[in-house]
Structure 1
Amino acid sequence: MWRDIGFDKDIWIDVSEAEMVGMLLYLSRWFDFDAITNHPMAPTYWASLNNRICTRYRGHKNIAKNRLTDFAGDVDVTRARAPMGMDQQHWNATINHFLTEKHQKRSAANQECRKKQVVKNRGGTCNYGSVCFKKNLNRLEVFHRAHVNKKGEFVDPLVGEQYNALVAEVALQTHHIADSGGDPDTIYWIAIFEKVLGTRRGHVRGIEPKASSAAGTSASSQ
């Protein structure tokens, strides 16, 4: 990502299709995407992969932004010290993007939003979908892990109430599925989290950002 993609875009979906395709071709050297495409849970896996790339893009962009800040805003010095492996043209474009009025206003607004965040996620930078896949956990288990301290206590009473409401809704939905002769493992997590926690634009609370179509990945999520 450092070498082939510039960080002069607000978000990953603004990156050019050619760069997105290039990223997938690069990743295909290590991952069998045909196996994902042919898997029954392909939409979920594609959405998780896409969200993971989005997270990586945001993380790398933040590192680049901090590099500019570390040099106390000295643009000339920053331009001369591109991150190792990054193309100089991409680095210059990234710096120019950071200096635009649009980006600076958006950055300031995001900082204010973070100050108002009531409950902070303690699950680290890895998104919920990736944790589910890597740890073989369901959505409810991951939500719990992300909001408790080392003693297993919820960091905020509000989250404890939300978790209990989720547990109750999961039990109700599981019971309905069993009564209808269905498989409880097919429970639709997104609908449960949206019902209990509500929704906001572009994000399913307790799940992750809604998947967007990019680089040929599926936009649907289970």
Structure 2
Amino acid sequence: MEVFNFTPYGDVSITYQWDSKAMSFEDYTKQYYRRRVHAKKTYAFTIGGLQLAELVKFYNRHKGLQEPFYFAYDGVMEVCYFSQAINPRCKRENGVIKAYSCEVVLEVDRQVTSYPTAQETDVLPNPHGETDQVFDWHTQLVTAGQRTERMARQTKPTRTITGKWSGLKSERDTLIRLFNSHCRVPLTFRYNGEDLKVVFPDKIEIKDKRELRNIIGYECQMELEVID
């Protein structure tokens, strides 16, 4: 197979998604079912340069989204496919294309990285900056004439915490490892003096901050579900 040798510039986004199945009950508790051995992984980034014809030839040789190729990032070589059609934006002078930029999305065929077994004692690092919390009793309101009846649906409220995680590459690697290990298995989150049990969302997006080809940091926003 060929290697995708076009170099991303700027930030690179990596998305991991489990496509897990959630079964909700009347009391708003949930039970999750894992449907994948590995989380689905996609890359999204921008490439550009002078040789638009080379990108078009590579895309057409692989019949768009049909044929696989190798892509190396962060020291890992993976088998990938184009995940969407390419749409180059061309800069022209006197009717001649001088340069182009193009958003590229690649889907990894199957992750090759191995992750450790999830443990509920694994600790999720704290987010940076502000966080938002939602407490919801899911009270059912039933209106009859001029009266509104309020019916309890559960014995305690559901709680979610939303925040932004960021930091150095080592912290990024920790978050990726935890997400890929846990799927919907709870882990420990120390928040405002509490040791909470939380569940990751089904999908996260890691935005790598880069200098040249080096990853120097990351950002990731996500909503955690508190289960204890």
Same fold, TM exceeding 0.5?
no
Structure with max Cα Rg: 2
- Normalized per residue, which structure has more strand? 2
With structure 2 as the length reference, what TM-score do the two structures score?
Answer: 0.26
With structure 1 as the length reference, what TM-score do the two structures score?
Answer: 0.27
Q: Per chain length, whose mean CA-contact separation is higher, i.e. which structure has more relative contact order (CA < 8 Å, sep 6+)?
A: 1
- Normalized per residue, which structure has more helix? 1
